[in-house]
């Protein structure tokens, strides 16, 4: 984004819109909270004297509550404003984190873990704040920079968490989250000025605005393009551990190294979004991103079918999935938030819920279909199918915009 296009921003001045670094940090906390403690799950299983599969619910519960909250957060923030909702979310997250630290029972821990999911407010509303600040094309560019920063977190979070857990015990992961959450509450308080024009509707009326979004074909086009594009990645998350450990017999350390392959592509894709979305346009960036996504999976299928497949080729081609996602998701999000600009918070929440909910289902599907005798095929076909559907959805949006050319309605 060119500096002359940016709104006037003064760092640590809450009378102006927030600095982009603030948005990156608060959005990153949501991603960090999801995975920093995962290397400590075996130790936590022993500590709580329970089964590993029970504590694995700490991820599923987090995602489930995450998806539900995204539907609610948007209308609430459109009514009350972005600033108080983000601050409230961070505060509740910090209190829930203290509960996780003090928990002596697995079910008590899971309860507070469920409450931690409220930090998704920061992720959802960071996008809405961007859309409040700048027009659609510039929003895609700025969202690209925000999500580029967030993309680093899944790469380093488990490594940091594993080291902390090994040195100081599993609670140290949550002490770290508490310290970061408290610091970001202060930063948000000081830097994040209100960017939304508060709705004059009551909260109940705000929720009744959902049909306006649901009746907008372009909203569905953008939301489903983003959902199907990211669906390839979520399916990968559900199936890659099995493929790496069972099909390719990778050690845990090597699997961890290969597993981060899509993050490399995602980082690059978000950079391209930040650099070129304003110049190229939202729809073409989404289209090219979905094409790259599909081509990467198709090449993976071809190499596997010819018998030259290996762990290196499988995970190497997944980089293209990350690259395509990094190009398509920020731009689809900006488009989705611009269909009905006065409902940007609502659109961000609903669109996020569609993406997370659909992704969770695809992840579970991939995990259920993969067996030793199936090899990598169920996973790759699921990924390829969702990639093609993403292309169809953005082509629909492009067709719809041509159809509406010259009309006042959008």
- 149's tokens: 């920063």
Residues of the chain with CATH 1.20.1250.20: 1-202, 209-404
Task: Tell me what pLDDT residue 210 has.
Answer: 72
Q: What is the pLDDT of residues 81-135, one digit of tens each?
A: 888 999 999 999 999 999 999 999 999 999 999 999 999 888 878 877 877 776 7
Integer angstrom CA distances of residue 378 from 294, 362, 368: 16, 11, 10
Integer angstrom CA distances of residue 257 from 74, 133, 251: 36, 38, 10
Task: Tell me what pLDDT residue 2 has.
Answer: 41
Q: How many residues does the chain have?
A: 410
Task: Tell me what pLDDT residue 1 has.
Answer: 40
CATH value of 1-202 in 3.40.50.1820, 1.20.120.1460, 3.40.50.2000, 1.20.1250.20: 1.20.1250.20
Q: Are 334 and 208 spatial neighbours (Cβ–Cβ below 8 Å)?
A: no
CB atoms within 10 A of CB 228: 27
**What contacts 250, CB < 8 A, 6 or more positions away?**
244, 258, 311
- Low-confidence residues in the chain, pLDDT < 50: 1-5, 410
Measure the CA angle with vertex 72, ends 7 and 119; round to 5°: 70
**Helices and strands: H and E segment counts in the chain:** 18, 0
Task: Tell me what pLDDT residue 342 has.
Answer: 72
The arrangement of secondary structure in 209-404, i.e. its CATH architecture, is Up-down Bundle (1.20)
Task: Tell me what pLDDT residue 383 has.
Answer: 96
Give the closest residue to 126 by CA, choosing from 147, 151, 155, 148: 147
Q: Report the alpha-carbon distance of residue 26 to residue 197 in Å, rounded.
A: 21
| DSSP codes joined into one string, 202-264 | -HHHHHTTHHHHHT-HHHHHHHHHHHHHHHHHHHHHHHHHHIIIIIS---HHHHHHHHTHHHH
- 371's tokens: 């067996």
């Amino acid at each position: 984004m060119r500096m002359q296009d940016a709104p006037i921003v003064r760092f640590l001045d809450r009378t102006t819109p927030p600095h982009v670094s603030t948005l990156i940090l608060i959005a990153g906390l949501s991603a960090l909270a999801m995975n920093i403690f995962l290397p400590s799950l075996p130790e936590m299983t022993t500590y709580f004297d329970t089964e590993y599969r029970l504590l694995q619910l700490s991820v599923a519960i987090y995602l489930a509550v995450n998806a539900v909250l995204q539907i609610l957060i948007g209308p609430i923030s459109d009514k009350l404003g972005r600033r108080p909702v983000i601050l409230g979310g961070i505060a509740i997250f910090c209190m829930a984190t203290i509960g996780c630290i003090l928990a002596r029972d697995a079910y008590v821990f899971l309860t507070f873990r469920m409450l931690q999911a409220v930090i998704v407010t920061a992720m959802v509303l960071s996008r809405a704040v961007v859309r409040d600040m700048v027009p659609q094309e510039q929003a895609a560019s700025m969202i690209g920079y925000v999500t580029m920063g967030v993309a680093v977190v899944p790469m380093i979070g488990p490594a940091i968490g594993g080291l902390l857990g090994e040195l100081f015990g599993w609670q140290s992961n949550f002490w770290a989250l508490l310290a970061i959450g408290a610091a970001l509450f202060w930063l948000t308080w000081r830097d994040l000025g209100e960017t939304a024009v508060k709705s004059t509707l009551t909260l109940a009326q705000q929720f009744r605005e959902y049909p306006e979004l649901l009746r907008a074909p372009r909203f569905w086009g953008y939301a489903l393009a983003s959902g199907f594009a990211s669906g390839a990645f979520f399916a990968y998350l559900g199936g890659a551990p099995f493929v790496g450990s069972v099909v390719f017999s990778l050690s845990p350390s090597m699997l961890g190294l290969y597993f981060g392959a899509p993050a490399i592509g995602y980082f690059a894709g978000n950079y391209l979004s930040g650099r070129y979305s304003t110049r190229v346009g939202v729809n073409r960036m989404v289209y090219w991103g979905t094409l790259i996504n599909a081509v990467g999976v198709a090449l993976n299928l071809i190499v596997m079918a010819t018998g030259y497949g290996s762990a290196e080729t499988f995970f190497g081609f997944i980089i293209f999935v990350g690259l395509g996602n990094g190009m398509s998701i920020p731009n689809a999000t900006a488009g989705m938030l611009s269909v009905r600009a006065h409902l940007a918070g609502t659109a961000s929440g609903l669109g996020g819920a569609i993406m997370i909910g659909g992704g969770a289902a695809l992840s579970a599907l991939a995990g259920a279909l993969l067996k030793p005798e199936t090899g990598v095929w169920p996973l790759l076909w699921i990924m390829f199918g969702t990639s093609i559907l993403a292309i169809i959805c953005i082509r629909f949006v492009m067709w719809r915009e041509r159809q509406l050319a010259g009309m006042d309605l959008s």
